[in-house]
Amino acid sequence: MDEAFNAVVLAGGTAARLDGVDKASVEHRGRTLLTWALDSVIDAGEVVVVGDPVPTERPATFVREDPRHGGPVAAMLTGRDALLRERRWLAVLACDMPYLTPATFRRLRDAARGRDGAALFGPDGRRQLVFVVATSALDGVRPGLEEQHGAALQPLMARLDLADVASVGDEHRDIDTWSDLRDLLPPDGTEDTVDA
């Protein structure tokens, strides 16, 4: 499936377990988490980042949900609404998963054929905040504005017919805590940093 798709990168959370640092600016192997995320959706026709604007090498539109820190549903729908051009598929990902690649999203789009979309799941069987959804299907289940703030993502996703796609290698790994970041250190021991 080589149809064009759009992407929404969720980068505006509170990062409470990372002492409130801006996750998008945390570095892994010399590159920010946002850079890794943008590289993974390089095939997207248009990318919207829901978070505070930061310099990037790849073109992206930055927006914030209103009110801020509304959670993943509000952020995803804010990003969806900021897209300038309609495309059949929408890729959604958290910015804190540096092992996602363009191949991840090709597999998800292939698995989504004939369904509402496809979601990545890890070795523990849990769905990750990485999925591809038909834009029309998402629009069909989206809650009203008053219900979006603070809404959990899983109940919304449960209303969609999603294929499950197993993660390959470390695709499922995310960075929620400082120990998560430490555990992603490359074999040479080079330390990851936070871009201040």
For domain 5-183, is the CATH number 3.90.550.10?
yes
Q: What is the pLDDT of residues 54-66, one digit of tens each?
A: 888 888 999 998 8
Domain boundaries, the chain: 5-183
**Model confidence, pTM:** 0.86
Q: What is the pLDDT of residues 131-188, one digit of tens each?
A: 999 999 999 999 887 788 888 899 999 999 999 999 999 898 887 665 665 666 554 4
- pLDDT on residue 65: 86
Closest by CA to 40, choosing from 130, 165, 166, is 130
Q: What is the pLDDT of residues 67-78, one digit of tens each?
A: 787 889 999 999
Low-confidence winner among 3-12, 76-85, 112-121, 170-179 (lowest mean pLDDT): 170-179
Cα 194 from Cα 86, distance rounded (Å): 35
Helices 33-40, 102-112: crossing angle, 10 deg rounding: 40
- pLDDT on residue 178: 57
